[in-house]
Amino acid sequence: MNDLAVRFSGVHKQYRHFHLADIDLELPTGSIMGFIGANGAGKSTTLRILMGLVHQDRGAVEVLGQSMPSQQAQAKADIGFVAEDMRLYKWATLAWHMDFIASIYPGWDAAYAAELVRRFDIRPEQKMRGMSHGQRVKAGLLLALARRPRLLVLDEPTTGLDPVARHEVLGALMEVLTDESRTVLFSSQNTLDVEQISDQITFIDRGRIIDSADKESYLERWRRVRLDVPPDVILPALDDVVARSTTGRLTVLTSNRFTAAMAEACAAAGATVNSIETMTLEEIFLANVQQRREKEAA
Amino acid sequence: MTEIRTRDLVISQTDSRPMYLQIVEQIEQRVAVGDWPAGAEIPSIRQLAADLRVSVITVKRAYYELERSGVIATQQGKGSTVAPATRASADLHHGELARQIEHVARLGALSNLSADELAARVRTALAELQRKNREKP
């Protein structure tokens, strides 16, 4: 059994105004990855390459052991893909869609589908046309989940959802993961969702992956250090400091590879360490993107 | 057998402490106050993750820390249980007892109870607990 559900290596895709470059990505089976990036960063393009909907110019993509796009027919039987612009038939009811999907995919689990209908609080007899955004998102998710695919790929599943719907959707995703052989990849602009439920996180900005790591050790590496630096003290040169801002005597350092030695070096130089703080994924993402963009501009 | 309920645990996103630490502290507390008795089965990592809607890796980290400090015991293929009474759980109980006694003392002082009256109340509560335990089938 392959222990990677998804693997990208050296993937490129050139558009006229956008370039996806050097995409390397590994998603272990049984885990859930949150894919974070601003609008236009390349999240959807990456997911579409994964699905074989867009073909890469070069580089290798392997999904559930199948090479994409050449073996996409085999791979797709085991992938559930949900995106905002998914074409569901407006004039048809959810029940019609459920019957339709059930007739194509032998793995369709009618009992699970019925349970999701109840939990998502949606009505099968309703036509897609009459559904709200949240109901449509949940309907699309239901159609993918009830097939019980080995890999679930979701493009912004929580965008535009109210808190109740968001809670229902996150709960359904986490339930998929109680089965160790299933894997979830979802993109999001909401770092709070990603921080809450992801095992793996990947940041993408301007067509490049800027970080991809397991969440716990990644969060553990980042710290903000607040220092009181007297006028005659000069801080030592420190590696792994991605941002530094000074106002008056107070300096704030942001590090992506914090160690106790870093704070000790500042203290030895004569500064007082006021606090060492953990950071949220959102703060880390912003610090990371800013630093990269400044480097590019320099 | 006491049922372990995952709704006993509540994770806060506004809490500045990492989520795995919140899980560690809350399980320690449930064990310390006796809600989760020694030997009780605790949910699997993936089940707790699904129930709390937090990532598997976060719960894994919490269980790892709890195991290291001897609060829970994990048997390969059998899942995790609250560890039998050990130094670790004794320490947890003592710590919790100290906190609760301080609380009782403060409430006693607020109600103007004398030391003897307070002690009598504690003895009554103890006797009541023993009576209840005897009645248990």
Residue A244 and residue A251 in contact, taking contact as beta carbons nearer than 8 Å? yes
Q: Which residues of chain A have a CB within 8 Å of the CB of B54? A: 174, 196-197
* DSSP code at position A128: G
List the structure tokens of A50.
Answer: 């994964």
pLDDT digits (tens, 9 = 90+) for B43-74: 989 989 988 889 999 999 999 999 988 889 88
pTM of the model: 0.80
Count of all residues that appear for chain A in the document? 298
Q: Is the ipTM of this complex over 0.85?
A: no
Answer whether residue A20 shows pLDDT above 90: yes
pLDDT band at B99 (very low <50, low <70, confident <90, very high): confident
Is B16 within 8 Å of chain A by CB?
A: yes
Is B20 within 8 Å of chain A by CB?
A: yes
What is the Cα B93 distance to its own chain's centre?
9
Using a pLDDT cut of 70, give the percent of chain A over it. Answer: 99
pLDDT band at A276 (very low <50, low <70, confident <90, very high): very high
The beta-carbon neighbor of A197 closest among B18, B44, B55 is: B55
Q: Which pairs count as long-range contacts for A281-286, CB under 8 Å and 24+ apart, including other chains?
A: A281/A36, A281/A191, A281/A192, A281/A194, A281/A195, A281/A201, A281/A215, A281/A219, A282/A191, A282/A192, A282/A195, A283/A224, A284/A218, A284/A219, A284/A222, A284/A256, A285/A36, A285/A191, A285/A203
* Residue A34, SS3 per DSSP: strand
Answer whether residue A252 shows pLDDT above 80: yes
Q: What is the bridge-based pairing of β-strands A32-36 and A200-205?
A: parallel
What is residue B80's predicted lDDT score, i.e. its pLDDT? 87
* DSSP code at position A84: T
Q: Which residues of B95-108 are buried (b: 16+ CB within 10 A; e: fewer)?
A: ebeeeeeeeeeeeb
Is B55 within 8 Å of chain A by CB?
A: yes
Pairwise CA distance, residues B131 & A72, whole Å: 69
Find, among A182, A132, A136, A129, the residue nearest to A157 by Cα. A136
Q: Per the CB < 8 Å rule, is B53 touching A167?
A: yes
Mean pLDDT of A9-18: 93
Distance (Å) from the C-alpha of residue B70 to the closest C-alpha of chain A? 22
Mean pLDDT of A251-265: 92
C-alpha pair distances (Å), A160 with each of A135, A156, A174, A290, B120: 11, 9, 20, 26, 60
Find, among B39, B24, B23, B32, the residue nearest to B80 by Cα. B39
Count of all residues that appear for chain B in the document? 137
End-to-end CA distance of chain B: 12
Q: Which residues of A make CB contacts under 8 Å with B?
A: 30-32, 167, 170-171, 174-175, 177-180, 192, 195-200, 214-216, 219-220, 277-278
R_g (Cα) of chain A, nearest Å:
22
pLDDT band at B2 (very low <50, low <70, confident <90, very high): low
